[in-house]
């Protein structure tokens, strides 16, 4: 009887696979953010009325210049734009952290989805103007509650735990593919079909009369030096050592 085989443990250096619940939840939050932006822009008239009511509650001794600045349309638009951009950036950042496996970000995003759903329920029984704003609010509320349910599933929690353990591991050096080992090349001679012949060394003749150099031959074989220039001029003619003739002197003596 053989023992049951155990599955091989996963590679400790690889990144854990993201479950489908985590991927779908983060994609639903993209719908939540877009729906909230559309609803926020559509509620500008109601936000304008609420802004004017707050300005009328200012003290009577408030300077006129400050009141005019607060009641201008540009001031309200800048304030709403800063508020909307800040909420969008924070929400998108938390969603990205959740997608990368941070457990604390997962809990915050799940709580935000529940808050949006509760706010939607109260808006259904309230006075929301204009009424078409309820359409993006309902879409974002449903997407938010669906994302919260997926983020609170067990596979999402396990993924965050695996990612936390993966981030605690020391980084490993990259593994480069090894080149295949080729067999060594055989050693061949330079000319396998034409072997090199030994060089002929000059030596004394083996047959015929023996020849020995004479003193005159040695004198002719000796190279002459060229004292004039760099060899461009020919050497002077050697003077003859032949004695001069005395024929002229003999003729003068006879006369």
Give the pLDDT of residue 246. Answer: 53
Helices 103-124 and 73-99 meet at what angle, rounded to 10?
Answer: 130
Q: How far apart are CA 170 and CA 167, in angstroms?
A: 8
Domain contains 184: no
Domain contains 222: no
Domain contains 36: yes
pLDDT in tens, 132-149: 999 999 999 999 999 999
Domain contains 1: no
Cis bond upstream, residue 130 (ω within 30): yes
Domain contains 132: yes
Domain contains 113: yes
Structure tokens given for 177? 């593919």
List of residues 6+ apart from 227 with CB closer than 8 A: 235
Domain total in the chain? 1
Domain contains 120: yes
Looking at 100-173, list the stretches that DSSP marks H as alpha helix, in order from N- to C-terminal side. Answer: 103-124, 134-151, 154-168
Domain that holds residue 93: 20-168
Domain contains 111: yes
pLDDT in tens, 91-115: 999 999 999 999 999 999 999 999 9
């Amino acid at each position: 009887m053989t023992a049951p085989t155990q599955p091989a443990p996963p590679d400790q250096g690889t990144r854990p696979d993201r479950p489908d619940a985590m991927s779908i939840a983060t994609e639903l939050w993209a719908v939540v953010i877009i729906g909230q932006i559309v609803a926020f822009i559509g509620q500008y008239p109601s936000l304008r009325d609420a802004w004017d009511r707050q300005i009328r509650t200012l003290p009577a001794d408030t300077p006129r210049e400050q009141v005019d600045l607060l009641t201008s349309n540009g001031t309200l638009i800048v304030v709403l734009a800063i508020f909307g951009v800040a909420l969008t950036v924070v929400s998108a950042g938390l969603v990205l952290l959740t997608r990368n496996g941070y457990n604390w970000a997962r809990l915050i995003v799940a709580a935000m989805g529940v808050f949006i759903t509760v706010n939607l329920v109260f808006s259904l029984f309230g006075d929301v103007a204009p009424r078409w704003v309820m359409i993006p609010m309902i879409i974002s509320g449903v997407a938010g509650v669906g994302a919260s349910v997926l983020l609170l599933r067990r596979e999402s929690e396990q993924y965050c735990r695996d990612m936390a353990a993966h981030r605690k591991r020391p980084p490993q050096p990259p593994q480069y593919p090894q080149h295949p080992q080729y067999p060594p090349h055989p050693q061949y001679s330079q000319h396998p079909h034409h072997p090199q012949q030994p060089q002929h060394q000059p030596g004394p003749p083996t047959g015929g009369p023996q020849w020995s150099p004479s003193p005159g031959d040695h004198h002719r074989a000796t190279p002459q030096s060229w004292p004039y220039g760099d060899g461009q001029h020919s050497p002077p003619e050697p003077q003859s050592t032949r004695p001069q003739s005395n024929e002229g002197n003999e003729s003068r003596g006879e006369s």
